[in-house]
Structures are given as C-alpha cells and as structure tokens.
Amino acid sequence: MSSERKDDDYPDADVREARSWFASGKRALLAPYGVGTIDQALQGLVIVKHFFVRRFALAGKVVILDEIHSYDVYTGTLVGALVRELLNLGCSVIVLSATLTAARRRELLQAAGCNEPSSPDTYPLVTFGRDSQTALHHAPAWTRSRSVRLRAEGLSEDAILDELVSRAEAGQHVLWIRNTVIEAQQTFATLRGMISEGGARIGLLHSRFPFVRRQELESDWLGRLGRNRPSTGPGSILIATQVVEQSVDIDLDFIVSDLAPTDMLLQRMGRLWRHDRPSEHRPTGGPEFWVRLPDIDQVNIAKALKVALGRSARVYAPFVLLRTARIWRAYRQIRLPEDIRPLLEATYADSSSEEPLGWRALLEELEAEKRTLQANAEAAMRVFGLPMLDPDADGALTRRKGPPTVPMIILSSVNLQPSGKSWQLTAPNGTTVTISDFDWSLAAARFLHRWLVQVPKWQVPPDAPRPRWLTEHVGRDAVLACLEEDGRLRFEHTPGPISYHPDFGVFAERPAKSQSKPEPWTDNDDEFDL
C-alpha cells in the first residue's frame, strides 16, 4: 500500500500556493447566490488566512442563517458578531429557528442594535427591525394544531426494542434517536437479531459512514420514509443519531428519543407525523413520542448525576438535561405549537436558587464553561496583528473544540503506476481513479471526498500514512486506510483498532469472550453526532 515519496522537495510549490487562492473554498462566497455552512461565513471573522476575502464576499447580500438554535455558546457568540458585521457591510440578515428562546432572540437583536422592550410569548413569531430601532413582532395565524401522546420515564432498552419490533411488524415506521454513535451501533446490532427474515426493514444512520455510503443510505431512507412513502407494505425500524434531527424530511409513525435538551427534543418530534396522510395510511391511532429518562430521583451529587445521565452527559450540558427531564416527565401530551414556547422557556428559565444542591453545582460548571467559551470566541475574532491560521486545519476556530477527530480516506488498494509519477486508487465499491503528487485533479479530489469519514483521533495510529497526493487533494490532516477482506482497516502495514462495514459504518472492535467475531463497538468510544 506504500504511497509515500521520499523526496519532499517540490519545485512547483509556489504554483500550488497561488492556485489555492482560486480554489472553490475561497471563491465560493463571491458568487451572487450560494448555499454553504455557517463555518464558511464565520471564517470571515476569525483569524484564518484570507478572512478578508470571505468578509468582502458577503458585503451587500441577503444572508439567511438557518437552524440558529443548534449552535453552542462558542459558535453562538461568533454568530452574534457575524450578524453585527453583516449589517455593517450593508447586508440584510434573516435568522430562522423553530425552537429559539426569548433570551437568545434578545441577544441577536442586541447584536443587530435593536431594542426589544416587550417579549411576546406567542408562537410562531416573526421579529424584525433595523439598527437603533425598536424591534417589531408579528404573530402569524396558525391553524394547524395537533397533540402528541408523550411518555417520558425510565424505560429499559429491552422494553423499547420490543415496542419498536411490535410496531414495525404491525406496519408502522418507527425511529429511535440515540445520542452517540456507539449506542446507535450497539442498538442496531441487537435489533438485527430480533427481526425475522423477510420481516420489517431495519437501518442505521450516523455520521461515521464514508460520504458516498451515507448518501446512499439517506437516499434510501428518504424514499422509504419521505413525503411519498408507500402507504402499504411492511413496517421499518430506523436507528439514528442527531443526523436526522434537523432538515431531514422523513415522516415517522412513532419515535423514541434519548434524553436531550428541550429544543432538540422538539426538533426530533418534528419528524413525527410530518405529512398529512389519510388515516387508513397510518397503522396507528395517533402520533406518539417516548423519551427515555435516566434514574436520577435518589441522586443529588454532581458526579453521580453525570454517571446516571450516561453518555448523553458527554454530548449535552448535564444541568440542561436534568431540567429537561424534570419538565417533560410532567406532561402526558404535547400540544403543537401551543406548548413549544412554554417548554423552551421553562427549560432555560433562571431558577438556580430552587434547584437541589447537586444540580446547582452542575449549573455553576455550565456557567463557568459559558464564560470560557465566550472569551475564547472573542479572542478568535481579534484578527489584527496575529498570525493567520490555515482554514482547513483541524479546529479552524469556527467551532468549539470537542473530542479530536481525523479525516480518514478508506480505499481498497493504492498501486504505484509504472511511470512512477502517479498511483491508481481503488475504492471499496471497485471504482478507480489515477492521482498524482504534482497535478491537482478535480475528479481525484471528488473521488477521495466520497470515501472520507471523520473518526476519533485515538483510533488512528500517530504514524498513519499521509501521502503527498492525499494532502494535496484533501488536507494535511487526512490519513489513508486500506480495507482488508475481513473488514479491518489497515494503516500502511499495520492493522488498526477499527473496522468498516457498509451496514455499521466505521467502528472499533471490542473482543468478545464467547464469540469468534468482534462486536462492532467499544466502550472507549465517546464520539457523537452534532
């Protein structure tokens, strides 16, 4: 598999550097219309190379920021500064969110220089204003109201799986949203042994599939569960992470969710009975949503509370999870949209003096973390007099640093061509491309990105191969892994601790004492989808 060149001196380095100025990542924002990620816009604020090009490219445009509620304090601080800067550049800014709290709305209005003397409690709500003016509110008429049966309590995994299987066998399309990839993989592995041959269809969706495979899976499930899903036929069970939480048009009959903050639970609930269908096309009496709550009733020590919350406490703030659990367990049904704002405001209301001692300790941790993240975000925007960072480098300042990950390309083989100047790459699906160290190729770059997946850094050996052609076409952090026949991923000549299966994605191996084959998970894996 060796693909490294010993000679690192490339006489055309200056040519490649000049060419990078015209790469799509830098010129994309200059187009009159475009769709991109929030990171591309935020790189016009932080200390990365060519930030001024991105800032200039946004001037005078209408900028729409969607799903604004999903950003944490760090990115949220940057977004507030972005709104302010966009208005200074003559832009019109439209902010969209289905689950925005009044406090967060007020912060964004303040960033835009608008005053908000009153805070309406209506939902939905449209707010608009200009610099130094009072914000105006408009509450559109909303005639489509419905109720969702809710069950929020401590539920065992066995009970949930039995319910999913029973409903799927009755023709329902059901979903369990897990908070971490490892839990989703474990649940899927267990579920596969519970479904009889020819029965309900089951599937797994998370972020640790190569792009091409994830695209195939999403296309398949969007067709199966989308607006035009079949009205008859067998049911299905989908196990997924947060990748289905937002901007995914799937329509489920029944949903189970791990505990998450209220705004995220409401987003997940948005996949339930999403489209109007005749009653005979719904093999259930009404929409039903279950939330699996941890056993925290007898726990009042901060550390023990985190343990009780499990892996979810690594994904979301433990205090917010506790507050969410207390509020949701009091409901037996959710009225949409009437209950959306009360649920949101109750979750994030300031009532620290009324909380148990252990909860207050977790709240203090949360507030301290917020202050740190805000300070870090403000420091990232001090762009003058400091060295510029590579925007493609890991942690390019637009997102909070979480558990470190590495971009990994999965291939079946890499063979040096007889000319000695290029390699033939073969993907796991048998497709091939020829690539060179010296000539950047759009076709080769697209080929590689189709087989890219982000994996936890601990799963990648420090000496994992980073051939020159890979660095040129993907980035300096990318590593190469080759897929063996048994599913293991090999780094150069050494098998790594991870494997790949088209149904499970990339997973670490935990040796099973009573089984000859490794189970596709590991207890050390604390990565999650966001």
Query: What digits encode the pLDDT tens for the residues 178-216?
Result: 999 999 999 999 999 898 877 889 999 999 999 999 999
Query: What digits encode the pLDDT tens for the residues 85-119?
Result: 999 999 999 999 989 999 999 999 998 889 898 88
CATH architecture under which domain 146-336 falls:
3-Layer(aba) Sandwich (3.40)
Q: What is the overall mean pLDDT for the chain?
A: 86
In this prediction, residue 467 has a pLDDT band, given cuts at 50, 70 and 90, of very high
In this prediction, residue 9 has a pLDDT band, given cuts at 50, 70 and 90, of very low
Type and span of the H or E element at 479 = strand 479-483
Per-residue pLDDT, 283: 83
Give the start-to-end residue ranges of the domains of the chain: 1-20+403-530, 21-138, 146-336
Is residue 438's pLDDT more than 90? no
Is residue 522's pLDDT more than 50? no
Is residue 22's pLDDT more than 60? no
Q: Could you tell me the strand order of the sheet in which 405-411 lies?
A: 452-456, 405-411, 479-483, 488-491, 494-501, 505-508
Q: What is the mean pLDDT of residues 26-50?
A: 81
Of residues 129 and 339, which shows the higher confidence score? 339
Can you give the pTM of this predicted structure? Answer: 0.87
Q: Could you tell me the strand order of the sheet in which 288-292 lies?
A: 201-205, 236-240, 173-177, 254-258, 288-292, 146-153, 333-336
- Rounded Cα distance, 43 and 50, in Å: 9
Q: What is the mean pLDDT of residues 142-164?
A: 93
- Rounded Cα distance, 172 and 498, in Å: 35
Query: In this predicted structure, which of 203-207, 480-484, 487-491, 505-509 has the lowest mean pLDDT?
Result: 505-509
Per-residue pLDDT, 511: 44
Asked if 520 and 504 touch (Cβ cutoff 8 Å), the reply is yes
Q: How many CB atoms lie within 10 A of CB 465?
A: 19
67 Cβ neighbours under 8 A, 6+ residues apart? 96, 97, 246, 247
Per-residue pLDDT, 502: 95
For residue 506, how many C-alpha atoms fall within 13 Å in the half-sphere facing its CB? 31
Query: What digits encode the pLDDT tens for the residues 317-365?
Result: 999 999 999 999 999 999 999 999 999 999 998 876 778 889 999 999 9
Is residue 513's pLDDT more than 60? no
Query: What digits encode the pLDDT tens for the residues 357-400?
Result: 899 999 999 999 999 988 988 888 887 766 666 665 544 577 77
Of residues 295 and 276, which shows the higher confidence score? 295
Q: What percent of the chain has pLDDT over 90?
A: 56
Is residue 11's pLDDT more than 60? no
- Residue 121's SS3 state is coil
DSSP state at residue 210: -
Query: What digits encode the pLDDT tens for the residues 410-428?
Result: 999 999 998 888 999 999 9
- Rounded Cα distance, 138 and 149, in Å: 30
Is residue 429's pLDDT more than 90? yes
In this prediction, residue 524 has a pLDDT band, given cuts at 50, 70 and 90, of very low
Extended beta strands in 259-398, E state: 288-292, 333-336
The amino acid occupying position 305 is L
341 Cβ neighbours under 8 A, 6+ residues apart? 102, 121, 122, 123
Query: In this predicted structure, which of 60-74, 184-198, 245-259, 383-397 has the lowest mean pLDDT?
Result: 383-397
